[in-house]
Amino acid sequence: RAKHTGRGRVEVFDERLRAHIDERRDVEEALRHGLASGEVHVLYQPVLDVASGTLVGFEALARWDRPGAGLLSPDAFVPVAEQSDLICELDRWVLRSAVDQLGAWRIGAGQGAADGDVRVAVNLSARTLSDPRITDTVVSTLAFAGVPARCLVLEVAESAVVESPVLLTQLAALRAVGVSVALDDFGTGTTSIGALRHLPVDTLKVDGSFLSADPADQRLVALMVATAHASGLTVVAEGVERADVLDRLAADACDAAQGFHLSAPLPPVEAGRVFAAGVPVG
């Protein structure tokens, strides 16, 4: 009887596990198809200079318009895509879209325009970054769109790269062709202060979870900004939701910021208006 119950539990567990695996496979298949058939879109969130309020760039953020499921956030499909090489396809697709888009905006504005330095930032997963061909892909994508390498930022999660010598080498190769690298979700990983100076990165993106009303968090943000600057890095704060947070970032000399208080991620047409104006519009 005891054995019977035991087996019953195993079967229930098996069924749940199988359902989970099936569901993941469904998502994967549907996303693979969706990528090929235009269901994946890119939104562009403006990144603004904290001191002047002017546009310094956009972060490209993937959205999946899955039939019957509505518009899905990356949290609903990136973790599944990361289980296989599908994430490389997704990342390359977003890279291509974002770089092409920036190229189109630049042409629309005239090449020598004052906004010639506006950048676009693209998120890369560890698996994408570990592909030895990634540097070639980036170089040819930029060349095809006529976008200078200095206008592309590649964002990688702090937790993904810091303990991986292979990924650090890849980042160094990417920086050698002129693109810049931002350490995303900074503060949630394990980077030591001393290591920062030697990492092949240009920018820290302070995770939004530190932008709270808690005085201890506020002191940490000030410390992260000072540490970044002491290490020769620039700082972007992400997830700025309130005016007082922005004021404190200005007081801390944080370089740039993004967040709902400044602008939500925008569809390409609206982002194009921001590109043309050099400041958030509407």
Residues at the interface with ligand C2E (CB under 6 A): 45, 61-62, 73-75, 78, 87, 90-91, 94, 123-125, 155, 184-185, 208, 238-241, 258-260, 265
Binding partner of residue 239 among ligand C2E, Mg ion, none, CB under 5 to 8 Å per kind?
ligand C2E
User: What is the closest distance, in whole angstroms, from the C-beta atom of residue 242 to ligand C2E in the complex?
Assistant: 9
User: CA 260 to CA 61: how far, in whole Å?
Assistant: 14
Q: Is 155 in the site for Mg ion (CB under 5 A)?
A: yes
Q: Is 185 in the site for Mg ion (CB under 5 A)?
A: yes
Tokens representing residue 232 in the block: 């020769």
Q: Is 101 in the site for Mg ion (CB under 5 A)?
A: no
Binding partner of residue 255 among Mg ion, ligand C2E, none, CB under 5 to 8 Å per kind?
none
Closest to ligand C2E by CB, 78 vs 138, is: 78
State which residue has the least CB distance to Mg ion. 155
Binding partner of residue 97 among Mg ion, ligand C2E, none, CB under 5 to 8 Å per kind?
none
Closest to ligand C2E by CB, 100 vs 109, is: 100
User: What is the closest distance, in whole angstroms, from the C-beta atom of residue 71 to Mg ion in the complex?
Assistant: 18
Considering only 76-84, 112-120, 180-188, 191-199, which stretch makes contact with Mg ion by CB under 5 A? 180-188
User: What is the closest distance, in whole angstroms, from the C-beta atom of residue 279 to Mg ion in the complex?
Assistant: 22
Q: Is 123 in the site for Mg ion (CB under 5 A)?
A: yes
Cα dist. 75→64, 114, 135 in Å?
11, 36, 26
Residues 6+ apart with CB under 8 A from 45: 58, 59, 61, 258, 263, 264, 265, 266
Closest to ligand C2E by CB, 103 vs 265, is: 265
User: What is the closest distance, in whole angstroms, from the C-beta atom of residue 93 to ligand C2E in the complex?
Assistant: 8
User: What is the closest distance, in whole angstroms, from the C-beta atom of residue 1 to ligand C2E in the complex?
Assistant: 49
Binding partner of residue 13 among Mg ion, ligand C2E, none, CB under 5 to 8 Å per kind?
none
Tokens representing residue 176 in the block: 């050698």
Please, are residues 257 and 242 in contact by the beta-carbon 8 Å criterion? no
E strands in the chain: 40-49, 55-66, 70-72, 119-123, 152-157, 180-186, 203-206, 234-238, 256-258
Closest to Mg ion by CB, 93 vs 113, is: 93
Tokens representing residue 279 in the block: 């400041």
Between 86-109 and 268-277, two packed helices, what is the crossing angle to 10 degrees?
A: 40
User: CA 83 to CA 127: how far, in whole Å?
Assistant: 9
DSSP per residue, 185-206: EETSS---HHHHTTSS-SEEEE
Name the pairing type of β-strands 119-123 and 70-72. unpaired
The contact set with Mg ion (CB under 5 A) reads 123, 155, 184-185, 238
